[in-house]
A and B are shown apart, each in its own frame.
Chain A
Amino acid sequence: MSHPAQDHSANLESFPENARRALNDSQLRGALRHATGVIDERRGQAVERVACWQELRERAKTLKAATLERLDHWLELFERNAIARGTQVHWARDAAEANAIVARLAADAGARTLVKSKSMTTEEIGLNQHLEELGHRVVETDLGEYIIQLAGETPSHIIVPAIHKTRAEIGELFHRTLGVKDSKDPKELTAIARERLREEFARADMGISGANFAIAETGSFLVLENEGNARLCTSLPRVHVALIGIEKVIPRLADLEVFLRLLPRSGTGQHLTSYQTLFSGPRAAGREGPEELHVILLDNGRSAMLSDSLSRQALACIRCGACLNVCPVYGQIGGHAYASVYPGPIGSVITPMLQGVEQAHHLPFASSLCGACRDVCPVGIDLPALLLKLRSKVRQGSAGSGDREQRRAFRLWSLAMSGPRRYGLLLRALRLARPLLERPGARSRLARWVPPLAAWTAAREFRPPAGRSFRELWRDQEAKDS
């Protein structure tokens, strides 16, 4: 089944529907199950070999918290040092500003073809679409992203964009879009992509990348990758533009000692990615590399997240995707169901924070709060606590009022729970409903009026309340004993 490209903001409302559709897509679920299982197993093995893993997590958490505490300071330091090395630094308040800056740079460079390495931040601002509308050719060069672009889709995973696709689907896609023979062999498929992409690298006028870390004390930034495509993107074209979220800044080069041990292991189960490239300015005279290096520092809702200690925690995310791989919800439905750029547990947290809880009000509820995400997070983000916080925020806003019946039900519930007498009344009311709940015929009639009961009994039996509650049985026993 194909997953057409999605206009994210419009579809945020349709999470329940999307989830249902995904559950009926056995090919998707098969692919997801296999891939998330393999990656998480590798992650577990890689982590096991680091004796001080918990200590590293603590250090990362502390480092991130301290950096975010004085983010303005570190950003200004980064800017100063980057400029000193010949990098041109731009600030973008939101997606529109960032897109406009890239578009202007592309126009200045007379760029027709732009090659990109993998970057979720460019996905966040919808950069490809914007540039294509202006007549530029944009080519994704990360294999997963290349597949997604050919399919006209969006990434369904932060690290593994085409995780929802089987080999057979990719073979068929290449056959259909590139006119090559149908193949299921990953080696063959990769070779085809590589050959096509070489041509693109050679003709590209501008390269676009993201960054994993921006280092304040040196004004440089680091890009991690496994395919070598990011190096080609950032060395062959005349101009290199890097889009970097403001939360990516870390104070010192030495801090990488912590993060470089955490990120590859958490993301792909690797001890280290195949390539790690540190960019520190455009090419020096007589050397190779781009003539111009531009860094765009993107806010797009991030600075608003600083104001609150809880949402600030979410800015510590280093985008490893480990929480997606262990999430039992993500594992069933995949990333597209979330209809947000960032899916899974971290997506359900930062999407409402970046785009507003009104729009993304379903996402904080798209979790059973099992806590598996918190356990694997390399920077110790308490994702369930953040989801809970957002849930309460949804209820305070107007989006939550759509659930008026539930609001009323909980009002009644809290009345019943705030005194033993009222609680006794609730027990009696439940008792009265017992005959209806015990007989399947009567139960299905009742379910028509009680949507949660209908939802429960669609695939599960419902256990009616007991004939006598524990407190009644206890009282009976006490009476007998005395």
Chain B
Amino acid sequence: MKVSLFVTCLVDQFRPEVGLATVEVLRRAGCDVSFDPGQTCCGQPAYNAGYRADARAAARQTIQSLEESEAIVLPSGSCTAMTRHWPELFADDPQWRERAEAIAPKCHELSSFLVSVLGCTELGARFPGRVSWHDACHGLRELGIKSEPRALLATVDGLELIEHENSERCCGFGGTFSVKFPELSVAMLDRKLEGLQSTGVDAIASSDVSCLMQIEGRLARLGSRLRALHLAEILAGGAS
């Protein structure tokens, strides 16, 4: 299957290795992966901060770059959820609204693409360690993604998935929220991470780099040995 990668701006700039891992995983699943450098950002940072015109500027650029694709895969539930907001973002612009409506259903978060579109869970991955999953809010509550990453992790050789009672609790990132109310943002994260250390996990994994930056930034400050990993990094691990 021909797949176009929407790598997302955060992965592009801060965690490019997640992008490479996503390509690797998609190829292993039999996809022909392309990347169009015309893409920039889904527009969510501005959208969530209330700057809709700025959000439209970014979204237009990315829509234009990707709309010819058959299927578009994103290593992010949050940015995928944003593509579902595109039609509403262009509510007053019939031409762009139509383009947004056409592209939105073609955009897929990585785990749901692998499991629900390709029907593929076995990728020959190997990851020795105990991992706890963080259900990133937008993937979970806007896209309904819950079982897909778990189905994928279940087939990873050597990986033990440790369910944590706070897996659905928000990490406190929330875009500009994280710097507008930093103490609150960190307090929310600390509440989430509570009890995680005692479960003896080696890593906390998720499908959103934004949450992972929040989590790893705090863990590093606390001197924790826990790693924060993207699903793609785990799935790309081991011999192919």
Contact = CB atoms under 8 A, between A and B. Distances in A.
A20 B179 contact: no
The residue in B13, B14, B53, B172 that gathers the most chain A C-beta atoms within 10 A of its C-beta is: B13
Contact of B9 (A369, A417, A460): A417
A254 B180 CA distance: 47
B238 interface: no
Contacts of A410: 45-46, 49, 51, 54
Given A414-B57, A423-B40, A474-B35, A469 B141 contact: no
Interface stretch (B115-123, B126-134, B215-223): B215-223
Nearest to B189: A460
B196 to A, nearest CB: 16
Contacts of B186: 459-460
Q: DSSP class of A's interface residues: helix, strand, loop or mixed?
A: helix
A417 B13 contact: no
Given A423-B40, A460-B214, A388 B48 contact: yes
A87 B184 CA distance: 48
B217 A452 contact: no
Contacts of A375: 141
Given A367-B177, A411-B54, A463-B213, A328 B169 contact: yes
B12 A469 contact: yes
B110 interface: no
Interface string A411-441: 1011111111001000100100000000000
A468 interface: yes
Contacts of B35: 471, 474
Contact of A427 (B13, B19, B46, B216): B13
Contact of B218 (A415, A423, A460): A460
Interface in B182-205: 182-188, 191
Contacts of A10: none
B57 A418 contact: yes
Contact of B217 (A461, A468, A469): A461
Contact of B141 (A332, A372, A416, A462): A372
A46 to B, nearest CB: 19
Given A370-B170, A371-B141, A417-B58, A470 B19 contact: yes
Contacts of B11: 470
B141 A370 contact: yes
- Mostly helix, strand, loop or mixed at chain B's interface? helix
Contacts of A418: 40, 57-58, 60-61
Given A470-B19, A473-B19, A20 B183 contact: yes
Contacts of B23: 474
Interface in A432-482: 451-452, 455-456, 458-463, 465-466, 468-475
Interface string B149-184: 000000000000000000001101111111111111
A369 B20 CA distance: 29
A374 interface: yes
Contact of A394 (B39, B50, B217): B50
B54 A459 contact: no
A468 B46 contact: no
A86 B20 CA distance: 75
B138 interface: yes
B82 to A, nearest CB: 11
Contacts of A369: 48, 137, 174-175, 177
Contacts of B221: 459-461
B78 to A, nearest CB: 10
Contacts of B30: none
A418 B191 CA distance: 38
B217 A413 contact: no
B188 A368 contact: yes
Interface string B49-74: 11111110110110001000000000
A16 B192 CA distance: 21
Contacts of B16: 466, 468-470, 472-473
A469 B13 contact: yes
Contacts of A333: 184
A19 interface: yes
B34 to A, nearest CB: 10
A417 B17 CA distance: 21
Chain A, interface size category, equals 35 or more
Contacts of B7: 470-471
A321 to B, nearest CB: 19
Given A328-B191, A420-B37, A427-B13, A456 B141 contact: no
B130 to A, nearest CB: 23
B171 to A, nearest CB: 8
A367 B176 CA distance: 10
B188 A329 contact: yes
Q: Which of A452, A461, A470 is the most central at the interface, judged by chain B CB atoms within 10 Å of its CB?
A: A470
Interface string B136-148: 0110011000000
Nearest to A368: B174
Nearest to B54: A414
A475 B176 CA distance: 31
Contacts of B57: 414-415, 417-418
Contacts of A475: 37
A179 to B, nearest CB: 38
Contacts of A427: 12-13
B53 to A, nearest CB: 7
A368 B12 contact: no
A456 B15 contact: no
Given A332-B187, A371-B141, A374-B141, A459 B58 contact: no
Interface of B: 7, 9, 11-17, 19-20, 23, 35, 37-41, 43, 45-55, 57-58, 60-61, 65, 137-138, 141-142, 169-170, 172-188, 191, 213-214, 216-218, 220-221
20 contacts: A16-B181, A19-B183, A331-B191, A332-B187, A368-B174, A368-B188, A371-B137, A392-B50, A392-B51, A392-B52, A410-B54, A413-B46, A415-B57, A417-B54, A418-B60, A427-B13, A456-B178, A459-B221, A461-B221, A471-B37
Given A328-B169, A458-B182, A471-B12, 11 more contacts: A368-B185, A369-B177, A371-B142, A410-B45, A413-B46, A414-B58, A456-B217, A463-B216, A466-B15, A474-B23, A474-B35
